Structure 1
Amino acid sequence: MFGTEIHWTTFFYLLIDTVIVLFAFYQSRKLNRNSLKRFLYLGLLFIAYNASGGFLPTESFPGPLIIQYIITYGVAITLCVYIVYYLYKEYDFVVLAFRSSIRNLAIVAFGGFIILYLIPYFFTTSLNTARLLYTVPISIVAFIFLGIFYKRISHPKNPNSFIVRRNKLSIISVTAIALLPICTVIGDYQWITFTIMNIAFYAISVIEVDRHLFFLENKNKLYEVFLFNKGRTEAINESEVINGNLTRREIEIAVSILSKLSYKRIAEDLYIAESTVSKHASNIFKKTGVKNRTQFTKRFDSK
C-alpha cells in the first residue's frame, strides 16, 4: 500500500489502534487516572509497532538498511517488555520470584538483540543469519516465560468470574509475545505477525472495559468510601465514583473487603499473594482515614 511494504491488514490495525488511543486520551483527560495513562503509553507503542514494522524497510529511508531493522526490532522489543510491565503494574502479576523480573526481562531482550543479532550481522552482513541466531533462543526464553506465567495465574481456587476472564485474556496477550519470535523466523508475513500482536492489545483493551463495568456494578459498595475520601457531602456522578484517590487495584480490594471476604480468599480470587492484599488494604485504610479493616467495614459498609 502507498508504495511501501505495509500490508492492508497492518494499516487497518494501525487505524483501529489509533481510534482506541484517541478514546483513551479523551478519557484520561476527563478522569485523570494514572492507569489510563499507562494504557495510553501501551496504545502508542502499538501504533509505533504497526507503523515501523509496516512501513519499514523502505528504499527511501536514509542511511544503511540495518538502521531500519534496529528501529523495527527496538520498537517490537520495547512493546513486548512494556506489555509484561503493564500486566505486572496493573494486575500484580509477579511472574518470577524476584521483583526485578521486568528489568531482567528487558536486559535479556535487548542484550540478546545486541549479542545475537547485531554482532553476527556485522560479521556476516546476513540479515537472515542474524535473525535466526536471535529469534530461536529468544523463542525458547519466551515460551519458558509463558509457561511460568500460565502456571502462576491459572490455578482453579475459588474462581471469581471477573478475575478468570482477566487472566485468560492476559494469557492471550503473553502468548502473542511468545509467538512473535516464531513469526519472525517464519518470514515477513505481516498479516500473520501483526494480527497476533494486535490481538494482545485488543485483549488488554477488553480487560480494561470489563474492569470499568466491574467498578460500575459495584459502585454502591464504594459510594460512601469515595464520598468520604473526597470530603464532599453533595452527590457525585459515576465518573467521580470511579475516579477516587484509590488505584483501580485498591478499588478491587475494597470491593472484596466490603463483601466480607478474608484476605486469604481475596488473594486466591485475585491470584496474588496474601501479603500483597494486606499491603493494598493498608493503603486503602490510610487513604480513607481508618485504622483497620473493622473500622473500614463499619464506616463504609453499604446500606
Structure 2
Amino acid sequence: MFGTSIHWTTFFYLLIDTVIVLLTLYFSRKKTRSSLRRFLYLGFLFIAYNATGGFLPVEDFPGPFILQYIITYGVAITLCVYIVYYLYKEYDIVVLKFNSSIRNLAILASVSFIVLFLIPYFLTDSLKSARFLFTIPISILAFIFLFIFYRRISNPSNPNAFILRRNKLSMVSVASIALLPICTVIGDYQWITFTVMNLAFFAITAIEADRYLYFIENNNRMYEVFALKKKQRDESVERKIIYEDLTRREIEVALSILSNLSYKNIAKDLFIAESTVSKHASNIFKKTGVKNRREFLKRFRKKSK
C-alpha cells in the first residue's frame, strides 16, 4: 500500500489503534491519573510499532539499511517490555521475583538484540541468520515466562466473573509477546505478526473497558465510601462515581473488603502479596477516615447493601 511494504491489515490495525488512543485522549482530557497516562503510552507504542514495522524497510531511507531494522526491532522490544510493565503496574501481576525487575528485563532484551542480532549480522551480512540466532533463544525465554505467568494467575481462591475475564485477557496479551519471536522467524508475513501483536492491545483495552463497567456496576455499593463530604453527598442524584480519593487498585481492594473477603483471599484473587493488600487497605482506611477494617465495614457495608 502507498508504494511501501505495509500490508492492508497492518494499516487497518494502525487506524484502529489510533482511534482508540484518540478516544482515550478525548474522554480523559480532564483527568490526569497515572493509569490513564500508562494506557496512552501503550497506545502510542502500538501506533509506532504498526507504523515502523509496516512501512519499513524502504529503499530511499537515509542511512544504512540495518538502521531500519534497528528502529523496527527497537520499537518492538520496547513495546513488549512495556506490556509486561503495564501488567505488573496496573494489575499487580508479579510473575518473577528473582532479579526480574522491568529494568533488568529491558537490559536483557537490549543486550540480546546486540549480541544475538547485530553482531551476527555484521559478521555474516545475513539478515536471515541474525534473525534466527536472535529469535530462537528469545522464543524459549518468552514461552517459559508464558508458562510461569499462566501458573501464577490460574486457580484464584474465590474467583468472580470480573477476575476470570481479566485473567483470560491478560493471558492473551502475554501469549502475543511469546508468539512474536516465532512469527518473526517464520518470515515477513505482516498479516500474521501484526494480528498477533495487536491482539495484546485489544485485550488490554477490553480489560480496561471491563474494569470501568465493573466500577459502574458497583456504583451504588461504592458511592457511600467515596461520598465523604457533604458537598459530595448532595450531588448523589447525579449518580457519579468519585475516583478522586482512591486509586483504581484501591477501589478493587475496597470492593473485596466489602464482600467480607480476608486479606489472604483478596491477595490470591488479585495475584498480589498479602502485605500489598494490607498496604492498600491501610491507604483506603486513611482516605475514608476510618481506623481499621472493622470500622470500615461498620460504616460502609450496611450503606452499600
Tell me which interval the TM-score lies in, with the shorter structure as reference length: over 0.9
Match of 1:118 in 2: 118
Is residue 2:132 matched to residue 1:166? Answer: no
Cα distance change of structure 1 residues 292 and 181 upon mapping to structure 2, 3 Å threshold: same
Aligned partner of residue 232 in structure 1, secondary structure = helix
Name the Cα RMSD after superposition. Answer: 1.6
Shift of 1:231: 6.6
Matches within 5 A, 1:1-303: 1-98=1-98, 100-228=100-228, 232-235=232-235, 237-238=238-239, 241-303=241-303
Shift of 1:79: 0.3
In 2: Cα distance, 1:6 partner to 1:59 partner: 13
CA contact (8 A) 2:223 2:242 kept: no
So what's the TM-score if we normalise by structure 1?
0.95
Shift of 1:102: 1.6
The number of equivalent residue pairs is 302
Shift of 1:50: 0.2
Letter in 2 for 1:75: V
Letter in 1 for 2:297: T
In 2: Cα distance, 1:231 partner to 1:99 partner: 48
> Quick check: 272-281 or 93-102, which moved more?
93-102
Cα distance change of structure 1 residues 100 and 157 upon mapping to structure 2, 3 Å threshold: same
CA contact (8 A) 2:263 2:278 kept: yes
In 2: Cα distance, 1:244 partner to 1:104 partner: 33
So what's the TM-score if we normalise by structure 2?
0.94
CA contact (8 A) 1:229 1:244 kept: no
Shift of 1:6: 0.2
Aligned partner of residue 227 in structure 2, secondary structure = helix
Matched-pair identity in %: 73
In 2: Cα distance, 1:123 partner to 1:229 partner: 68
In 1: Cα distance, 2:242 partner to 2:17 partner: 25
In 1: Cα distance, 2:297 partner to 2:98 partner: 34
CA contact (8 A) 1:180 1:197 kept: yes
CA contact (8 A) 2:87 2:170 kept: yes
Shift of 1:302: 4.5
CA contact (8 A) 2:94 2:271 kept: no
Shift of 1:221: 1.8
